[in-house]
Amino acid sequence: MPRATAHDEAARASEKSSKVTLSPRSSVHPCDNAPEPVKTMSYGSPAFWITMAAVSAGFGALHGVLFHDGPTLVGTIYGTCVGVLMIAYERGLFLAAYSRRLRQLPTLAYFAAAEISMAILIVVAMSATGVLVWALGIADKPFLDAVTPKLHTIPFALAVSALIVSVLRVRDLIGSETFASLVLGRYHRPVSEERVFLFLDLVGSTAYAERHGDLAAQELLKAVFAAIAEPVRRHRGQVDDYIGDQVIISWPLARGIERARCVACVFAIRHILNRDRARWLTRFGLVPELRAALHGGSVVTAEVGVDRHKIAYFGDVMNATARLEGLCRETGRGVLISDAVLARLPALPDGVEAEALGAYRLRGRSETMAVHALAEARAPVTAVSPGHRGGAVADRKPAGPDYAARPKRSPAAAGVPGKSAASA
């Protein structure tokens, strides 16, 4: 892909003088400011658990309407406790290893074992709740009656638990934000909105499949996608789609640029993959490497499909982000970001530098795009005299704030979103 004219070269040289370098404050990775759990499934936010408790309480009240004279406090307590316990089991808060072993069984055996396990958990939960209401004096009945589940209650609890778990699995399958949008009908009519998109592409996946087979390649992709999930959740991103060995992640524009979440997410993902080098090498014989491209702007978001519904994005931004990710190969850079996004960031994450690469004419676009490369900053090394050679330690710059401001650039150097400095 050609780099336009000599004028572009001059603009590129002037932009390089504005290279931003933010030194890391410590040996801890700057984008890794939260503990890394080993889980891959989200345990849920406080709002999620409050909602689930309310839904469970509602089904407890419904049980009173169906089988008694009306909703009762005791029935609501039973519904809440049983429902929350079953959802906690489904989320993997306890007996996670047991659940994983069940999923390895043949389909019919899995369904039978899962239903038996769920019935046992319901009986235990109802008995434990009976002890609680009896101890608090809420239920005016003998202890044995309080802790013994009624026969008609167990099938009801099983049906309700299966319904809630099924809905949650559909939610996990398409994503929580997409699920909410579909249920609320947010995009029944197309909506124009601004979003930031991150395209991630696994380097060398085709060659790996040729050497080891498609099944082994699928296991690699599955492991990489699972590793990506937690950093995306932590930085409040949304996984929109998996296309082969590519992942599409997005944020509403305001959320993505706030505290440079979209950039921090990229380097958090790269850090997680590098942190577990030994495990990756042992299992797959390689350490996954991802190419990343960040771009954003106005898109049209709409619900599409008849037999299968999904939320889709339309507009030049999607095509441009895909082309920008392809530019990583040509430039030899791992992370590229458009000036349209970089110019809107209040600051870069600590320890990340941006280098202007100039204006590129992406395939299928008439206008050029100002492109920058992102990388982790290296601490500057101070020259050491020969007499101190033995115990020399590289000096580092003093630690700066978490998000240091980017230096302002002149309009001629900065350009405007969607246009290069040469064409400004």
Backbone angles phi, psi at 194, to 5 degrees: -105, 130
Pair type for strands 335-338 and 290-304: parallel
| Average pLDDT estimate for 192-208 | 95
**Tell me, what's the pLDDT at 379?**
59
pLDDT of residue 84: 93
pLDDT value of residue 336: 97
pLDDT at 405: 40
Tokens of 104: 């390895």
Tell me: pLDDT of 424 over 90.
Answer: no
Contacts of 269 (CB under 8 A, 6+ apart): 200, 227, 228, 231, 232, 290, 292
Per-residue model confidence as pLDDT tens digits over 59-112: 999 988 888 778 888 889 999 999 999 999 988 888 988 988 888 888 888 888
Question: Between these two residues, 43 and 276, which has the higher pLDDT value?
Answer: 276
pLDDT at 390 over 70: no
Q: Tell me the CA distances in angstroms from 148 to 82, 138, 142, 257, 343, one per residue in order.
A: 14, 16, 10, 55, 65
Distance from C-alpha of 347 to C-alpha of 155, rounded to nearest angstrom = 56
Domains with residue ranges and CATH for the chain: 6-18+187-414 (3.30.70.1230), 46-173 (no CATH)
Query: Do 340 and 296 contact (CB within 8 A), yes or no?
Result: yes
Higher per-residue pLDDT: 305 or 385:
305
Q: Where are the alpha helices (DSSP H) in 251-367?
A: 253-257, 261-275, 277-284, 316-331, 339-342
Average pLDDT (170-198) is 86
Quick check: 202 pLDDT over 80? yes
Q: Is the pLDDT of residue 242 over 80?
A: yes
182-191, 195-204, 228-237: least confident range = 182-191
Q: 8 versus 26: which is more confidently predicted?
A: 8
Report the chain's mean pLDDT, rounded to a whole number.
80
Which has the higher per-residue pLDDT, 68 or 29? 68
Amino acid identity at 156: F
Q: What is the mean pLDDT of residues 255-276?
A: 95
Three-state SS at 104: coil
Q: Helices in 153-236 by DSSP H: which ranges?
A: 153-174, 176-184, 205-212, 214-234
Long-range contacts of 179-184 (CB under 8 A, 24+ apart): 181/303, 181/311, 182/303, 182/309, 182/311
Do 369 and 261 meet the contact criterion of CB atoms below 8 Å apart?
Answer: no
Over residues 295-306, mean pLDDT: 92
Q: What's the whole-model pTM score?
A: 0.68
Q: What average pLDDT score do residues 30-35 get?
A: 41
Letter string b/e over residues 45-68, b meaning 16 or more CB atoms within 10 A of that residue's CB? eeebeeebbebbbbbbbbbbeeee
Band of residue 310 on the pLDDT scale cut at 50, 70, 90: confident
Alpha-carbon gap, residue 63 to 82, rounded angstroms: 13
CB 365 within 8 A of CB 326: no
Measuring CA to CA, which residue among 198, 203, 247, 244 is closest to residue 225?
247
- Which tokens go with 177? 């934000």
pLDDT of residue 91: 85
Tell me the one-letter amino acid at 360: Y
Which tops the pLDDT comparison, 103 or 198? 198
Q: Read off the DSSP letter of residue 20.
A: B
* Cα separation values, 66 from 71, 75, 109, 153, Å: 9, 11, 33, 11
Three-class secondary structure of residue 42 per DSSP: coil
Residue 112, token pair as written in the block: 């039978």
